[in-house]
Structure 1
Amino acid sequence: MALWSGRFTQDVGELTQRFGASLPVDRALYVQDIAGSKAHAAMLAAQGIILPHDNEAIQSGLDDVRASIESGEFAFDVNDEDIHMAVEGALIRSIGDAGARLHTGRSRNDQAVTDTRLFAKARCAALMQANCDLRAALMSQADANKDVLMPGYTHMQHAQPVLFAHHLLAYVAMLERDYGRLKAARTAADASPLGAAALAGTTYPLDRFQTAEALGFSRVIGNSLDAVSDRDFLLDLVYACSVSCLHLSRLCEELVLWSTAEFDFIELSDAFSTGSSIMPQKKNPDFAELIRGKTGRVVGDLVALLMTLKALPLAYNKDLQEDKRAAIDAAKTLEDCCRCAAGMVATMTVKPASMLAQAEKGHLAATDVADYLAKKGMPFRQAHAVVGHLVLLCERRGCGLGDLSLADFQAESDLFDADIADALDLRAIVEARTTYGGTASVRVAEQMDAARARLETDAAACGAGGSCGPAGPYSC
């Protein structure tokens, strides 16, 4: 019979036991569960609710349970419907009545969400570090290729020339926002529900602030009903994972395109490629494709959690047992994707000649030719039409704007002079984009410096003593 079976005359059936068990999922939170129990027991002793020697036995017994789990010797039983019952049952079998006193003043409702909040904090910290590592890989490639020109695209059509470093830094900017969302999710999780009990608090003189401090929480949740029923912090985490995966999917789509023979902008390392079972020549960007594909899985986790929480009345409902599956999967998937993407980016070979060759196609100087006329007094809309005629002429001849003669230009407007050649030089076009955030090398260098400073701050915050918060004696 279960530990809660006092008012029952028979146990649940095998099917319902299996259906109702969360142990296959929440056993991953054993570290958090044991940390919460140790903090709770220490507080009970400090408040005189249990005797000091009972607390000592509980602390030692819980250490033994953790060691048993980590050594692989612990025997999980399907009759233990969750990690809380598995740990407590083992503790009672080990130390007897002292173990049975552990649950005084506590419900599985506040216990489960305490574990989940501790888990969310730890996963956010790991994801923030993985985010920093990917940003570092992108910035390293940008720095190593800071003079490389490539075509910029809109609608997947050649648009204007940009620096390759500028392009990579756009992804760094996305990841910086992702870091901010992960940090906010961690802050949302950083509140202690322990001591809220089932929903209404308890008659025992618990010190909720002591357990919060011991577990490294920065604050205590002020409403016991909200404490046991809130899962907004998990929505924040899974949403942050979803958006970050979307950004990684965009990056990986470009890595896939760039590694094709049609683009030939990069070559992925053998370590991040696979071959074909039938075509010997193939080198497939499978891992970039997998990251792109796994995005749908993480977005699915978000939708699943949203639907689980929809229309739940206060306070705790068994539906909330489904909260951890989505969060565990989304966080693990994002971390794996970040690690894989960082490896791909760090080891890929960039092909500047191929990028430049493509930048010389598609009339990328057209906007600057129109600007040339506008700066000489022609209304921009009229200049736009003039250059459109010149592009049409090039299309008919099968050439580029740089292949036209001065006479060809002057046939469209007498404002053209010999200095039009300067407006056709790709390097000059790039270097002319000096507005804040533009692609000129001086501006890209500024962006790199700013991104490097933010990365240093963010990476430091992921370490001990950073914004990830204080670690209490029972912190996991």
Structure 2
Amino acid sequence: MTQPLWQKANIKIDARIMKFLAGDDVLLDREFFLHDITASKAHVEGLANIGVVSVDEAAALKRELDVLAADFRSGEFVLDERYEDGHSAIEARLTERLGDAGRRVHTGRSRNDQILVATRLWLKDQLAALETHCRAIARACLERAAQPALPLPGYTHLQRAVVSSTAMWFAGFAEGFIDNALRARQTTTLIDANPLGTAAGYGVNLPLDREHTTAALGFARMQISPIYAQLSRGKFEMAVLEAIAGALLDLRRLAWDLSLFTTAEFNFVSLPSEYTTGSSIMPNKRNPDVVELLRASYASVAAARTEIEQLLSLPSGYQRDLQFSKGSLFHGCRHGLAALELVPDLLARMQWNESAMRAAIEPAMYATDVAIEQAAAGVPFRDAYRAAAETASTAGHGRTPESSLAARVSPGAGNDLRLDELAARLRQLDG
């Protein structure tokens, strides 16, 4: 390992302790490394603006940072156990190539604001991906909802309740994922603040050009207080995981429906063959493994959020405990986004079994229609309710799923899905 940035003379380093301190940091930093390089370029520009490095030194540093980024992408430079972390690797490379100019790159910053800004840029990318996936899911749902509606039993308490439709089912999840996309955008607004230049949490005795780095890195605003920059670590990561988890909660319920609907007992849905697997012992089986893992994905994101939350039982200021937040953050975001990415194609290609859905609609499922019709005619609703309950077994006489859905004119119901309004909300996010 290269000499740690904090190494001082006559201080012995214990290899076992160093291994524990470093942990998986250098491996996890691969995920944030390019963002760290980008932020380093902006920092160099800011240092040049206040005369800490010369114009020529700044140009050389930025050129070498670009070369490092290219070498990292190509695999020529590998971030590995030779370095304590990604920050050390950047400084070591610049020092090797540029001598004293490389040694000046860390002026006015700490590894604390260095990882904060790299993580913040990475989090913005994750939220952009989340919004993209949620919009794609909503779009797939709206496209299927616009197709001719097929009758589908509506359930409460997992008991047959009222007549519903495939269009209503898709419209419900469309609106949910439009909201999830909106939440991703709102969370971006929350975290879109530049912590670079807050150093170790108390500022430095230099007039750092933080306005320049804020603009250069594409942040909406500066995170002004150095103390709050440290307080926001973990808080902002949790907000991103919560936005992903919110989408996965809707996905979990969607996957639960498909898990039930694909059973022989329901037989409402057929999945594309790529989304099923065979049994290792039972030749007759095709299992909805992908849907089941989509259903389980929320747990990984919720666990990541909980791990970070448990780390935050801390006083103000930086504490090394926060190093452990990187692994859970990375794994939670990666798993959650990978799950959501699979959903649009699944929704576009799943097939409904109309005959099985029609067969599952029984006469008693029209009882609510009967009660409301009587109430609309002037019968007190509780009287109409009791009368409909007594005749529920014959409530379907002369009725069809189509007539029930056609009469359902409340906004959002079977005959007034308002798909145009939902599409307009989605276009606002697309625009």
TM-score band (shorter)? over 0.9
**Counterpart in the other structure of 2:255:** 252
Unaligned runs of 5+ in 2: none
Q: Residue 212 of structure 1: CA displacement?
A: 0.6
**Counterpart in the other structure of 2:429:** 458
Q: Residue 3 of structure 1: CA displacement?
A: 2.1
**Counterpart in the other structure of 1:409:** none
- C-alpha distance 402-50 of structure 1, shift in aligned 2 (>3 A): closer
**Counterpart in the other structure of 1:85:** 88
Q: Which has the larger radius of gyration?
A: 1
Q: Please give the secondary structure, in 2, of the residue aligned with 1:365.
A: helix
CA contact (8 A) 1:148 1:352 kept: yes
1:277-310 alpha-carbon deviations (Å, 9 max, x no partner): 2222322111010011121111111111111112
Mapped to 2, the partners of 1:192 and 1:302 lie a distance apart of: 22
Opposite residue 435 of structure 1, the aligned amino acid is: S
CA contact (8 A) 1:266 1:349 kept: yes
Q: Which structure 2 residues correspond to residues 32-431 of structure 1 after superposition, within 5 A?
A: 32-144=35-147, 146-231=148-233, 232-310=235-313, 312-359=314-361, 361=362, 363-391=364-392, 394=393, 400-402=394-396, 421=398, 424-431=399-406
**Counterpart in the other structure of 1:413:** none
Q: Residue 163 of structure 1: CA displacement?
A: 2.2
- C-alpha distance 343-106 of structure 1, shift in aligned 2 (>3 A): same
Q: Does 1:28 align with 2:31?
A: yes
Q: Residue 376 of structure 1: CA displacement?
A: 4.4
**Counterpart in the other structure of 1:410:** none
Opposite residue 132 of structure 2, the aligned amino acid is: Q
Opposite residue 285 of structure 1, the aligned amino acid is: P
Opposite residue 449 of structure 1, the aligned amino acid is: D
Q: Please give the secondary structure, in 2, of the residue aligned with 1:161.
A: strand
Opposite residue 159 of structure 1, the aligned amino acid is: A
Equivalent pairs: percent with the same residue? 33
- C-alpha distance 214-372 of structure 1, shift in aligned 2 (>3 A): closer
Mapped to 2, the partners of 1:435 and 1:374 lie a distance apart of: 15
Query: What's the TM-score once normalised by structure 2's chain length?
Result: 0.94
- C-alpha distance 305-191 of structure 1, shift in aligned 2 (>3 A): same
Opposite residue 343 of structure 2, the aligned amino acid is: A
**Counterpart in the other structure of 1:439:** 414
Mapped to 2, the partners of 1:235 and 1:342 lie a distance apart of: 26
CA contact (8 A) 2:22 2:85 kept: no
- C-alpha distance 128-151 of structure 1, shift in aligned 2 (>3 A): same
Opposite residue 428 of structure 2, the aligned amino acid is: T
Q: Residue 194 of structure 1: CA displacement?
A: 0.8
Opposite residue 412 of structure 2, the aligned amino acid is: G
Mapped to 2, the partners of 1:204 and 1:8 lie a distance apart of: 30
Most deviating of 213-222 and 427-436:
427-436
Most deviating of 264-273 and 177-186:
177-186
- Root-mean-square deviation (CA), in Å? 1.7
Q: Residue 386 of structure 1: CA displacement?
A: 2.4
Mapped to 2, the partners of 1:268 and 1:75 lie a distance apart of: 42
Aligned residues: 427
Q: Residue 13 of structure 1: CA displacement?
A: 1.9
Q: Residue 362 of structure 1: CA displacement?
A: 5.5
- C-alpha distance 75-334 of structure 1, shift in aligned 2 (>3 A): closer
Mapped to 1, the partners of 2:376 and 2:14 lie a distance apart of: 83
Q: Please give the secondary structure, in 1, of the residue aligned with 2:123.
A: helix
**Counterpart in the other structure of 1:415:** none
Q: Residue 175 of structure 1: CA displacement?
A: 1.3
Mapped to 2, the partners of 1:143 and 1:25 lie a distance apart of: 44
CA contact (8 A) 1:174 1:247 kept: yes
Q: Residue 253 of structure 1: CA displacement?
A: 0.6
CA contact (8 A) 2:370 2:395 kept: no
Q: Please give the secondary structure, in 1, of the residue aligned with 2:278.
A: coil
Q: Residue 372 of structure 1: CA displacement?
A: 3.7
Mapped to 1, the partners of 2:79 and 2:343 lie a distance apart of: 36
Mapped to 1, the partners of 2:48 and 2:373 lie a distance apart of: 81
- C-alpha distance 253-65 of structure 1, shift in aligned 2 (>3 A): same
Query: What's the TM-score once normalised by structure 1's chain length?
Result: 0.86
Mapped to 1, the partners of 2:367 and 2:109 lie a distance apart of: 71
CA contact (8 A) 2:363 2:396 kept: no
Opposite residue 369 of structure 1, the aligned amino acid is: V
Off by >4 Å, runs of 4+ in structure 1: none
CA contact (8 A) 1:150 1:164 kept: yes
Mapped to 2, the partners of 1:19 and 1:107 lie a distance apart of: 17
Mapped to 1, the partners of 2:198 and 2:372 lie a distance apart of: 67
- Specify which structure has the bigger relative contact order, considering alpha-carbon pairs within 8 angstroms and separated by 6 or more residues: 1
Q: Residue 377 of structure 1: CA displacement?
A: 4.1
Q: Residue 19 of structure 1: CA displacement?
A: 4.0
Opposite residue 155 of structure 1, the aligned amino acid is: H
Most deviating of 350-359 and 370-379:
370-379
Mapped to 2, the partners of 1:316 and 1:222 lie a distance apart of: 16
Q: Please give the secondary structure, in 2, of the residue aligned with 1:363.
A: helix
1:182-226 alpha-carbon deviations (Å, 9 max, x no partner): 112211221111111112111122110001100001110111111
